[in-house]
Amino acid sequence: MMLIKAALNGTRTLQDHPQVPVTTHALVTAAREAVAAGAGAIHFHVRDSGGRESLHPDDVNSQVQAMKHALPGIPVGISTGAWIVPELALRLEYIEQWMVLPDFVSVNGDEAGFEQVADKMLQRGIGVEAGISSEAAVLNFKRSGRLPHCFRLLLEPGEQEMAAALHTAAAIEQHLTDKLPGQSVLLHGSDLTCWPLLKMAISKGYDLRIGFEDTLLHPSGIPAADNAELVQTAMLYKNGNL
């Protein structure tokens, strides 16, 4: 069954859109509404009390606990992007101190030290999504031997020109011929490529991702009201009603 994962905030701020969730209350509200609209999993970037992205144990424990309490049975995942805590040793130290564990995390194959981050997650029983934004990233995962241990392959070309994004997606796909039967593939774009790549993902039978992390706009080009509206629209595409 095709999954829709709601990506609630990413690096966006309230300056980008007044409904970008950055507080725990706003995240829980947005997650509940996204699930009610049809999302089957939640991805978010943990924030500290000032709204800044964080991997600090206090922030992760608090927000992951609140999300899991509010969404029983719904997988909840977070980002481990290197920009959040640039020092690898400190990032690994923080991860080791997490007491409330997310169900999954995304680990980017184009970041230095991604192998250690993936290993730490797997050791702690946390599912790993392979963040693959380029051919180099998928090759990094394959050479490291970690790709078979990732439950989801996250294809996320970052180019804003559609032809370039399609070229990157095809270059990644050619290295996934040995994908394991249990591994799902999720394809998503961002901003200008978000909706076209979502439709392409549907045509390929891949899992989907939508939310304010990927776009602030309805396909018509007008600002979306909130994450739930984006999920509702993705559901219409998925069901062939748009």
Q: How many residues does the chain have?
A: 242
The pLDDT of residue 242 is: 87
The pLDDT of residue 1 is: 83
Sign of CA dihedral 163, 195, 140, 86: positive
The pLDDT of residue 33 is: 98
The CATH number of residue 35's host domain is 3.20.20.70
Q: Which domain holds residue 112?
A: 4-238
Separation CA 144–CA 188 (nearest Å): 24
Cβ neighbours, 10 Å, residue 241: 8
The pLDDT of residue 226 is: 98
The pLDDT of residue 67 is: 98
Phi-psi region of 112 (alpha: psi -120 to 50; beta: other; left: phi over 0): beta
Q: Over the stretch 85-126, which tens digit does the pLDDT of each residue have?
A: 999 999 999 999 999 999 999 999 999 999 999 999 999 999
**Cross-strand partners of 185:** 153
Instruction: Give the number of domains in the chain.
Output: 1
Phi, psi of 47 (to 5 degrees): -125, 150
In the chain, which residues have pLDDT < 50? none
Residues 6+ apart with CB under 8 A from 50: none
The pLDDT of residue 187 is: 98
